Structure 1
Amino acid sequence: MSITKLARAQVQALTPYQSARRIGGQGHIWLNANEAADSGEYRLDCSRLNRYPECQPPQVINAYAAYAGVTPEQVLVSRGGDEGIELLIRTFCEPGLDNILLCTPTYGMYAISAETNGVGIIDVPLNPRRQPDFDGIIEQLDRVKLVFLCSPNNPTGDLVDKAGLVRLLDAANNRALVVVDEAYIEFCPEFTQADLLADYPQLVLIRTLSKAFGLAGIRCGFTLASPEVIGLLQKVIAPYPIPEPVAQIAAQALSDSGLTTMRARVDEINALKTRLAEQLGQHPQVAEVFAPNGNYLLVRFTAGAALFARMARAGIILRDFGSKPGLSDCIRITIGNSAEMDAVLQVLQQEQ
């Protein structure tokens, strides 16, 4: 008997999430994972490494609550935003019975986490304006426990319409939770939905230090929600989710000087993004530049696969979304440093 036959049926049938690192590639300029071009410098105190860490380090919780404008009771820290997504599914969805709802094209981990946990998926695709179909979502609320929205949306960069979100939240009261993934919100902070948390206990936000803070390597994310939701998630989360070095680095990143560094990085990335978007928009091989709200640009080329291959031959690794519905010939370009953006443009200028 194959050992594989011992695994759960859902796991046997599962296709792993194709993360940037799993896809891999050969190159020297990595612009496929929406990582920052730098991380900054941090100090570590090794005197407590012999002790188990606190489940929810107060220095991290309090600092993030102050940064996000919420109370500490509304914050859960986890191993990246991905763990927050999975915790919500494990906490609120019964395997084999419940469903989540998502709006493709969007971040792939919502579906992977649901499939891994034996939870069904209802897809209400984005409308032609790349907004959630709020009427379609509301029609499905009695069939789902969680609605996942991404704002800015990965990979398209679009922001969720606030009026539509409020209408959905009103409809979801006592029926479902609405989860807004704000992994990229630092690049357009004026569009956060955090101000709605006080009035809508059915709203949950996902945040991360991976993008604007330049700390993808430490895997540190946050869930913002009502104290009731946070209390339920704390029943499910592992006893020691945040290693001591991670907590130390996160607390430093959320200090006044750390926030200043983050905001300077955001300003630089946004300036490079604006310049790249303008140059791409004038290029004959570019059919469309999508919404520029994250630390990336999704670009529809006249021949996406060929352009992706040309970049790879030049050692520039991008992310190809051409196989996703509605995203034919689309390539996502992470905004790196100035030299990396110049390299992308240089390859684009070359003869095909």
Structure 2
Amino acid sequence: MDVWVGCYTSATGGNGAGISTFRRSPDGTLTPDRGLPMLSPSWLTAHPSAPVVYAANESGDGVITTVSAELEALGAVSSGGADPCHLAVSADARYLLCSNYSSGSLSVFALAEDGRITAQTDLVRHEGSGPHPERQEAAHVHQAVVRDRIVSVVDLGTDEIRSYELMDNGKLDPLAVSALPPGTGPRELHRRPGGDLAYVVGEVAGTLVVVREDQPGSFTPVTVVPATKEPWTGDTPNWVAHLEIAGERLYLSSRNPDVITEFDITAETPVAVADHPSGAWPRHFAVADGTAYVAAQHDDAIVAFPVGGGEQVRYATGTPTCVLVR
């Protein structure tokens, strides 16, 4: 099994070189393998069936690069906006959705059966702002989440989840707008399998928001809890980052506290169980076979440890921003 790592490169203030891969052994240890130079591939998404990975090259002139399983660049297209930060493939694998953070927009691209991008089919732009003057001065699309034909778009700048129906022709038809508590600054949305609850990462507020999906694509806030078990009292904000669900546990990373907090989600309201140290600035992480692989951005390392806490192992890599286990 491979672990692919995206990063920031020198053009965007980072120390990385492009995509790096590690070979993962049965006991979870990593061995450096290959590399592909490219501009700031800050997010990586694998096609569900074709042997390709998509990289969001985060820059003012946003680009999406398609990469083969052999780590060769197959082609690149404009992302349709500035600073693309997230990619998702539609449920039928016919379309790729790209979140352009600085432009506050979502692009849609048609995919061939072999995973190659063939054309842009739509682009929607959000308008609005939130109460935080520095982080919410405008719309900032951060993530698109797909369920069947419903695309739910998380907007950090407007404190909203905007849902669309993805049509057969690749167009987005507006479906619902769901408001979150002012100042939440939503970064990610993750549905809990088998029910109507979902969880929203409140990056700006430093919170975890539980929402209920009353109708497909329509969300109502249920409760809000702090992002960490121990209250954060530092001079800098807690910029909450990434969330993963594994059974009855939820894991949430916090930057500045530099921990991954483990939550028990057996009840409707999540209960923080422990804060696990995770390396400096845990921007993203992936959980595989009970091990968390954390992109510790400011440590220039992948930090690996058992999800319940335990001994850490560090693997050097420049300014990591995304971990993809394949």
TM-score (norm 1): 0.26
TM-score (norm 2): 0.28
Q: Which has the larger radius of gyration?
A: 1
Higher RCO, Cα 8 Å, sep 6+: 1
Higher share of residues assigned helix: 1
Higher share of residues assigned strand: 2
